[in-house]
Amino acid sequence: LAKTTQPISMDSYEGQEVNITCSHNNIATNDYITWYQQFPSQGPRFIIQGYKTKVTNEVASLFIPADRKSSTLSLPRVSLSDTAVYYCPAGNKLTFGGGTRVLVKP
């Protein structure tokens, strides 16, 4: 069963860049890498998805090395409203893991 590992928590300050790395154990050849954001008492929200190299959208960037055994979500210039839990579920969506709790301080 696919499984991911990511840090439990990270602290940052407003205006800084936050990078969260996820290790992908047993990632399959056809698995995509997807990141979600969850605020308290809400469901997770899709942020970004990629297969290899780099993907960028209006919210974040996703860096995936050639071996695809990890990925890094980059949040540029975070604000207080970026305080949330960030997940990198395994490709089949069955395993979300505990996520990374990001706290942005003023």
Binding site for other proteins (CB under 8 A): 30-32, 34, 36, 41-46, 49, 87, 89, 91-99
For other proteins, which is the closer residue by CB, 18 or 36? 36
Contact 6, 23 (CB under 8 A): yes
Contact 64, 71 (CB under 8 A): yes
Dmax of the chain from CA atoms? 41
CB of 80 to other proteins, least distance (A): 21
CB of 61 to other proteins, least distance (A): 17
CB of 45 to other proteins, least distance (A): 7
What gap in Å lies between CA 64 and CA 41, rounded to an integer?
30
